[in-house]
Chains A and B, each alone.
Chain A
Amino acid sequence: MDVTLLVQYGLAGLVIGVIYCLMAVGITFIYSIMKMINWAMGEFFMIGGYLQYLLITGWLGSSRWYLALPLAAVGAGLLGMLVQRVLLRPMFVGQVERLDEYATIVTISLTVLLRNLAVVVFGPYQFSPADYAPPVMLGPLPLNGSRFAAFVGTIVLLGVFAMVMRWTWFGRALRAAAQNRLGALCAGINLPRLDMLAFGIGVGLAGAAGALLAPVFLVFPQSGALSTVKGFEIIVIGGLGSLPGSIVGGLLLGLVESLGSVFVSPSFRDVYGFGLLLLILVLRPTGLWGERTREA
Chain B
Amino acid sequence: MKGGTEMGQRLVVTVVGGMLIAALAAGGAVGSAAPAPVTLGVLTPLSPPGDPAAGQLIERGAELGIQYINTVMGGLFGGKGGCALPATQVRLAVEDDSGLPEKAIAGFRRLVSEDHAVAVWGQFHSSAMLAAAPLADQLGVPFISTQASAADITAKHFKAVFRTHPIDPDRAAAWLGWIQAQGWHKVAMLAENTDYGIGLAEATKSLIAAKKMNVTLDAVIFDRTSSDLTPQLLKFKAEKPDVLLNVGVGTPAYLIIKQAHDIGLFPQVPMLGSYDFPVRPEYWKNLGAAGNYLAFISYYHPRMALSPLGKWAAIEYAKRYKDVAIYSNLNSFGDAVILAEAMNQACSSDPTKIIAALERGRFDTWIGSGATFPRGAGVYWHQWSPPMVILQFTQTDETYDQAPILYPTAMKTGTYTGPH
Structural contact, A130 and B288, CB atoms closer than 8 A: yes
Range, interface on chain B: 35 or more
Q: Are A218 and B251 in contact (CB under 8 A)?
A: yes
Residues on A with C-beta less than 8 A from B280 are: 125
Are the C-beta atoms of A269 and B286 separated by less than 8 Å?
Answer: no
Could you tell me if B220 and A220 are in contact, using CB atoms closer than 8 angstroms?
Answer: no
A230 → B minimal CB distance (Å): 9
Most chain A Cβ neighbours within 10 Å, of B52, B193, B227: B227
Q: Tell me, yes or no, whether A54 is within 8 Å of chain B by CB.
A: no
Specify which of A12, A142, A144, A218 is in contact with B231 (CB 8 Å cutoff): A12
Shortest C-beta distance, A55 to chain B (Å), equals 16
The stretch that binds B, out of A28-36, A94-102, A221-229, is A221-229
A295 touches B (CB below 8 Å) = no
A270 near B226 (CB under 8 angstroms)? yes
> With A125-B282, A261-B232, A267-B193 in contact, is A222–B48 under 8 Å at CB?
yes
Quick one: which of A12, A119, A128, A262 contacts B286, CB cutoff 8 A? A128
- Are the C-beta atoms of B234 and A9 separated by less than 8 Å? yes
B53 at the interface (CB under 8 A from A): yes
B230 at the interface (CB under 8 A from A): yes
Taking A115-B48, A119-B47 as contacts, is the C-beta distance between A142 and B285 under 8 angstroms?
A: no
User: Digit string of A104-136 for contact with B (CB within 8 Å is 1, else 0)?
Assistant: 000000000001100100011111101100010
B229–A266 CB distance below 8 A: yes
Contact flags (1/0) for B223-246 with A, using CB distance below 8 Å? 101111111101100100000000
Residues in chain B near residue A269, CB distance under 8 A: 222-223, 226
B225 and A226 contacting across the interface, CB-CB below 8 Å: yes
CB distance from A161 to the nearest CB of B (A): 24
List the B side residues contacting A144 at CB < 8 Å. Answer: 258-259, 262-263
Given A5-B234, A126-B254, A220-B251; A116-B47 close (CB under 8 Å): yes
Contacts of A8 in B (CB 8 A): 234
Name the one of B231, B282, B288 contacting A9, with C-beta atoms under 8 angstroms.
Answer: B231
Contact with A128, one of B225, B264, B285 (Cβ below 8 angstroms): B285
Of A2, A225, A269, most buried by chain B (CB within 10 Å of CB) is A269
> Which chain A residue shows the least CB distance to B286?
A128
A-B contacts, 18 of them at CB < 8 A, read: A5-B235, A5-B238, A13-B231, A16-B228, A115-B48, A119-B47, A126-B251, A127-B286, A128-B258, A130-B288, A142-B264, A143-B262, A144-B258, A258-B231, A261-B232, A262-B234, A266-B229, A269-B226
Interface residues of A (CB under 8 A from B): 2, 5, 8-9, 12-13, 16, 115-116, 119, 123-128, 130-131, 135, 142-144, 147, 216-218, 220-222, 225-226, 257-259, 261-262, 265-270
> Using a CB–CB distance below 8 Å, which chain B residues touch chain A?
46-49, 51-53, 55-56, 193, 220-223, 225-232, 234-235, 238, 250-251, 254-255, 258-259, 262-264, 280, 282, 285-288
